[in-house]
């Protein structure tokens, strides 16, 4: 490397070169003056290895970095199966290029890059631009001038336009531009540089930080940083504004393939700049890195996604996405397609049933025999209201494909709005308020809905937290409050609209963005098409036996929206659905009695509280529950003892626990009878029990039995290798431990703006890789044994934790157990971390007698020899699913506790 004695980790010295180029920039006092550029260029290495590049990536840094930013991309592109040449430039006055001492503006930077690419012989293409920060605009200015050479665009945390109506430019830039401190922050001190290279969520090593700063050791060498900041178009009449706006307009007409990789916590290039880019280049592939900061190429391993995108985009064979779509089950043909919402209209059209209850909301009961129905709609009333709101939405400008964020609690209002959106082809965005303010903001800003419908509390939150979307209130507001909340329309006003013909639906158009719970990382938006939503309706109907004339108590929010699609009545009990434990036995019974419910759907946490409060039930309420024929629960496995207790409360109900996830629900189904059968298979019968008595299940076998696939779903196992990595062919062989993979017509279309995550989840085209691990038994039943990230990599092989946890849970005095691996991969030892039924006041090693019982139980059941037994006051859990333990945090705590560190409750 020239000009520095600072170590530059990650740089191959063979990449570094200087190029003398005649400058034609307008700022030059003499046109044609030769300027010396520094670039990182891997062409020589490729040629020495006898490799022919597929094309050239022109990598353009921003302010105040240099070509070092792209070192990992260069290395990955060099080693790729189909390598690419990467030319990473140092702008003049930046990095190790010549210091000209001139104030180079945006137009000059474009001309500089044009002069360089001509000297390097790149103008014949194909060239893919790769940019960060202000390199985004400069690279697009170059692309505008070289349309025949420009083959593609990759951008990371940048902007091509600032809309004045969106507010001022970001505050860090306003500070750097302030006349009193501009020069002090940018050139006379290293303050601007120091802050910029620290914008990395994962932290930055000292040697890497020193490498980023190496070209900028003096005020004279930081002059380019000062001038770059000064060229930000922060005010009307800025000299660079006309060219900025011209280039931004050109970007909106560019049709080349594009990839946007974005750090969501960037304090400068915020989410609004990504959304602007997406609007300008809707063809772009997008991946948002939750939590990543401004210096994304340093913060996340973007090099592999970039190389993969290049390989897929510029190859002759179909892309991974195309191969996945071709291999997945499509479902019904267009001729047989029945829109998701069709069942509602069909039920309303039946004269004998039109005035029966379609949906109802419960309030607090005033007495035992008269449940308080707060609101109810007949099928005719629901159909009429849906039709009017659909017309109203069309009337205010909502169009098919528009995203509508529905911040409305489950109940009649939400049901009506959902069906109105489906009817006109709008895309519902549903994120559970259980995610909390931070999680909701992250989800909604990522989904970027055009419209937001909410109750007043949600609208106040939207105003305070900056949630996107034109705001519509569920209730009429006085003008002052409406203005304060930024509300432009109300649902009551929409209902007054004259009928407008609804557009014809495209079965393969997006229908919904449903967010995951966030219990396995930041909540992900799961996109379903109209066809997939219809397939989900049919799968749930099959499993839940929901059909016209049945009634559902929906204590689990998603199923409130499904019931009317099947012509089934639904009722929302008196509870806070974001807090499942607020469902009481009385509230459940009152809801069931209100519509003579035949089915109930509730989460495991809700069921536990129902059982805890069943002593408050009256005889009349118990009679209402006795009429329930089907009880379903999903979200987390229900312990068999809990199912047994629930059977006593619902004596005439068949208890089902479908297995699935937001990405595909349901996948399998199992009832209590099957769980009992699975638990005792292969064991001798107890002669003390009669031949037909049903055994009471107190535990499960090797994992959780989730039954067999639902109609249309196919489940397979991809075996784990010795490193715990899924590998090899898909099998349904009994006893093989591996990742559970699935396909079904009602499987998600994709993750929303999470291209990297989507590729990982569909790494086998046509299948969804669940990251759950399990096995099939000899009768074809699936057993779930934990998460892929929770398997233990011991010296004896891969061990899934669930069987050992179940064995420990059966020890008297033990509440919940998590078995985690402590130590290096391949040599981990199993450690049981237990909650006690009577909560422990301290955390640390279990009492010797209790530890011995837990060890013996686990060895007897699984043969696994525990290295230690620890107790905690409480497990760290996900805020929504208190049955889901944060095992990663728990493993770290256990390692610290066993290593002699200070012991605190995790």
Tell me, yes or no, whether 821 lies in a domain: yes
Q: Are residues 171 and 27 in the same domain?
A: yes
Among 38-42, 170-174, 252-256, 359-363, where is mean pLDDT lowest? 170-174
Rounded to whole angstroms, how far apart are CA atoms 811 and 659?
27
pLDDT of residue 889: 85
Contact status, residue 444 vs residue 429, Cβ threshold 8 Å: yes
Listed residues 279, 313, 347: the one ending a domain:
313
Between 684 and 640, whose confidence is greater? 640
pLDDT > 50? residue 691:
no
Our CA angle for 522, 525, 531, nearest 5°, is 155
Comparing CA positions, the residue from 831, 845, 818 lying closest to residue 900 is 845
Our CA angle for 116, 120, 122, nearest 5°, is 95
pLDDT > 50? residue 575:
yes
Tell me, yes or no, whether 863 lies in a domain: yes
pLDDT of residue 804: 92
Listed residues 505, 526, 552: the one ending a domain:
505
Rounded to whole angstroms, how far apart are CA atoms 509 and 526?
14
Sign of the CA dihedral 339, 715, 604, 834? negative
Tell me, yes or no, whether 740 lies in a domain: no
pLDDT digits (tens, 9 = 90+) for 712-726: 999 999 999 999 999
Tell me, yes or no, whether 98 lies in a domain: yes
Q: Are residues 260 and 407 in the same domain?
A: no
Q: How confident is the model at residue 634 (pLDDT cuts 50, 70, 90)?
A: confident
How far is the CA of 545 from the CAs of 549, 552, 630, 654, 855, in angstroms? 11, 10, 8, 11, 43
Comparing CA positions, the residue from 516, 438, 519, 517 lying closest to residue 877 is 519
pLDDT of residue 368: 62
**Domain containing residue 875: CATH number:** 3.30.300.30
Rounded to whole angstroms, how far apart are CA atoms 218 and 239?
28
Comparing CA positions, the residue from 356, 310, 352 lying closest to residue 54 is 310
Among 58-62, 236-240, 474-478, 582-586, where is mean pLDDT lowest? 236-240
pLDDT digits (tens, 9 = 90+) for 789-831: 999 999 989 999 998 998 999 899 998 899 999 999 999 999 9
Note the residue count of the chain.
906
**Domain containing residue 251: CATH number:** 3.40.50.1820
SS3 170: coil
Q: Are residues 68 and 179 in the same domain?
A: yes
Rounded to whole angstroms, how far apart are CA atoms 233 and 256?
27
Average pLDDT, the chain: 91
Our CA angle for 706, 749, 343, nearest 5°, is 75
pLDDT > 70? residue 227:
yes
Average pLDDT over residues 568-583: 87
Rounded to whole angstroms, how far apart are CA atoms 87 and 98?
17
Average pLDDT over residues 547-552: 90
Rounded to whole angstroms, how far apart are CA atoms 700 and 741?
22
Q: Are residues 379 and 300 in the same domain?
A: no
Q: How confident is the model at residue 698 (pLDDT cuts 50, 70, 90)?
A: very low
How far is the CA of 312 from the CAs of 300, 319, 440, 667, 721, in angstroms? 21, 5, 33, 31, 28
* Domain with 34 in it: 13-313
Half-sphere exposure of 48 (CA within 13 A, CB side): 8
Q: Are residues 136 and 267 in the same domain?
A: yes
What percent of the chain lies above the pLDDT cut of 90?
A: 74
Burial class, 367, CB count within 10 angstroms (exposed 0-12 / middle 13-18 / buried 19+): exposed
pLDDT of residue 630: 94
**Domain containing residue 400: CATH number:** 3.40.50.980
Q: Are residues 411 and 500 in the same domain?
A: yes
Q: How confident is the model at residue 562 (pLDDT cuts 50, 70, 90)?
A: confident
pLDDT of residue 492: 97
pLDDT > 90? residue 175:
no
pLDDT digits (tens, 9 = 90+) for 854-869: 999 999 988 899 999 9
What percent of the chain lies above the pLDDT cut of 70?
A: 94
Q: Are residues 67 and 201 in the same domain?
A: yes
pLDDT digits (tens, 9 = 90+) for 212-223: 999 999 999 999
Write the secondary structure of 513-535 as one string of H (helix), E (strand) and C (coil).
EEECCCECECCCEEEEEHHHHHH
Q: Are residues 100 and 241 in the same domain?
A: yes
Listed residues 293, 313, 333: the one ending a domain:
313
Among 495-509, 550-564, 594-608, where is mean pLDDT lowest? 550-564
Tell me, yes or no, whether 531 lies in a domain: no
pLDDT digits (tens, 9 = 90+) for 730-776: 999 999 999 999 999 999 999 999 999 999 999 999 999 999 999 99
Average pLDDT over residues 625-634: 92
Contact status, residue 655 vs residue 643, Cβ threshold 8 Å: yes
Q: Are residues 383 and 240 in the same domain?
A: no
Q: How confident is the model at residue 832 (pLDDT cuts 50, 70, 90)?
A: very high
pLDDT digits (tens, 9 = 90+) for 603-618: 888 999 999 999 999 9
Tell me, yes or no, whether 844 lies in a domain: yes
Tally of domains within the chain: 3
Rounded to whole angstroms, how far apart are CA atoms 817 and 854?
10
Among 188-202, 683-697, 705-719, where is mean pLDDT lowest? 683-697
């Amino acid at each position: 490397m020239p000009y520095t004695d600072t170590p530059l980790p990650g740089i191959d010295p063979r990449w570094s070169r200087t190029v003398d180029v005649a400058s034609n920039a307008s700022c030059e006092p003499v046109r044609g003056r030769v300027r010396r550029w520094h670039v990182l260029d891997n062409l020589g290495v490729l040629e020495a290895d006898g490799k022919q590049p597929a094309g050239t990536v022109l990598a353009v840094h921003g302010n105040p970095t240099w070509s070092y930013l792209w070192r990992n991309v260069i290395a990955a592109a060099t080693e790729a199966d189909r390598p690419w040449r990467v030319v990473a430039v140092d702008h003049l006055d930046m990095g190790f290029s010549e210091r000209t001492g001139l104030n180079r503006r945006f137009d000059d930077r474009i001309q500089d890059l044009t002069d360089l690419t001509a000297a390097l012989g790149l103008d014949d293409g194909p060239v893919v631009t790769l940019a960060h920060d202000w390199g985004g605009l400069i690279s697009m200015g170059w692309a505008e001038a070289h349309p025949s050479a420009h083959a593609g665009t990759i951008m990371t945390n940048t902007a091509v336009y600032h809309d004045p109506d969106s507010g001022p430019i970001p505050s860090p830039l306003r500070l750097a531009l302030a006349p009193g401190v501009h020069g002090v922050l940018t050139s006379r001190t290293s303050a601007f540089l120091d802050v910029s290279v620290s914008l990395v969520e994962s932290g930055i090593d000292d040697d890497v930080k020193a490498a980023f700063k190496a070209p900028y050791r003096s005020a004279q060498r930081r002059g380019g940083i000062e001038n770059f900041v000064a060229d930000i178009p922060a005010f009307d009449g800025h000299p660079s504004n006309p060219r900025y706006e011209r280039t931004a307009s050109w970007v909106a007409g560019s049709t080349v393939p594009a990839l946007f990789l974005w750090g969501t916590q960037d304090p400068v290039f915020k989410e609004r700049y990504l959304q602007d880019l997406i609007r300008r280049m809707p063809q772009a592939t997008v991946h948002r890195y939750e939590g990543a900061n401004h210096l994304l190429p340093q913060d996340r391993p973007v090099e592999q996604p970039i190389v993969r995108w290049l390989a897929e985009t510029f190859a002759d064979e179909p892309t991974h996405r195309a191969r996945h779509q071709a291999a997945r089950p499509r479902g019904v043909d267009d001729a047989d397609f029945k829109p998701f919402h069709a069942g509602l209209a069909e039920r309303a059209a039946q004269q004998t049933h039109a005035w029966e209850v379609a949906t109802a909301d419960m309030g607090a009961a005033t007495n035992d025999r008269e449940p308080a129905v707060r609101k109810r709609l007949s099928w005719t009333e629901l159909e009429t209201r849906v039709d009017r709101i659909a017309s109203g939405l069309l009337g205010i400008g909502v169009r098919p494909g528009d995203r509508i964020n529905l911040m409305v609690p489950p109940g009649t209002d939400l049901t009506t709005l959902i069906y109105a959106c489906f009817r006109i082809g709008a895309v519902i965005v549903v994120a559970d308020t259980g995610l909390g303010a931070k999680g909701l903001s992250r989800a909604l800003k990522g989904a970027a809905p055009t419209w937001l419908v909410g109750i007043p509390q949600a609208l106040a939150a939207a105003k305070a937290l900056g949630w996107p979307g034109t705001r519509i209130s569920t209730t009429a507001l006085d003008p002052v409050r409406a203005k304060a909340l930024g509300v432009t329309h109300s649902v009551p006003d929409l209902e007054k609209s004259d009928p407008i013909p609804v557009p014809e639906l495209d079965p393969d158009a997006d229908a919904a963005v449903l967010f995951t719970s966030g219990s396995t990382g930041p909540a992900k938006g799961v996109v379903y098409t109209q066809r997939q939503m219809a397939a989900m309706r049919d799968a749930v109907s099959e499993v839940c036996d929901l059909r016209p004339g049945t009634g559902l108590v929906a204590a689990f929010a998603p199923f409130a929206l499904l019931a009317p699609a099947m012509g089934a009545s639904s009722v929302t009990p008196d509870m806070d659905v974001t807090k499942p434990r607020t469902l009481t036995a009385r509230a459940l019974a009152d809801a069931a009695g209100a519509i003579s419910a035949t089915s109930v759907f509730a989460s495991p946490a809700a069921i536990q509280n129902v059982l805890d409060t069943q002593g408050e039930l009256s005889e009349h309420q118990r009679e209402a529950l006795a009429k329930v024929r089907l009880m379903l629960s999903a979200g987390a496995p229900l312990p068999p003892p809990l199912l047994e207790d629930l059977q006593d409360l619902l004596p005439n109900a068949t208890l089902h626990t479908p297995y699935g996830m937001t990405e595909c629900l349901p996948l399998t189904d199992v009832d209590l009878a099957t769980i009992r059968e699975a638990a005792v298979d292969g064991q001798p019968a107890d002669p003390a029990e009669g031949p037909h008595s049903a055994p009471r299940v107190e535990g499960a076998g090797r994992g959780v039995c989730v039954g067999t696939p639902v109609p249309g779903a196919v489940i397979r196992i991809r075996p784990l290798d010795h490193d715990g990595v899924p590998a090899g062919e898909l099998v349904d062989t009994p006893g093989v431990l591996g990742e559970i993979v699935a396909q079904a017509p009602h499987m998600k279309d994709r993750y929303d703006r999470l291209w990297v995550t989507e590729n990982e989840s569909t790494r086998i085209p046509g299948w969804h890789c669940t990251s759950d691990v399990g096995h099939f038994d000899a009768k074809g039943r699936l057993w779930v044994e934990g998460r892929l990230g929770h398997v233990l990599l011991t010296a004896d092989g891969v061990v899934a934790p669930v069987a050992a946890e179940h064995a420990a849970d059966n020890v008297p005095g033990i509440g919940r157990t998590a078995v985690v691996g402590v130590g290096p991969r391949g040599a981990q030892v199993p450690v049981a971390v237990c909650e006690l039924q009577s909560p422990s006041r301290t955390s640390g090693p279990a009492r010797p007698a209790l530890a011995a019982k837990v060890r013996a139980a686990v060895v007897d059941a699984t043969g696994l020899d525990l290295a230690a037994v620890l107790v905690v006051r409480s497990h760290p859990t996900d805020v929504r699913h208190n049955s889901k333990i944060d095992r990663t945090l728990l493993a770290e705590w256990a390692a610290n506790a066993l290593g002699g560190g200070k012991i605190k409750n995790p």
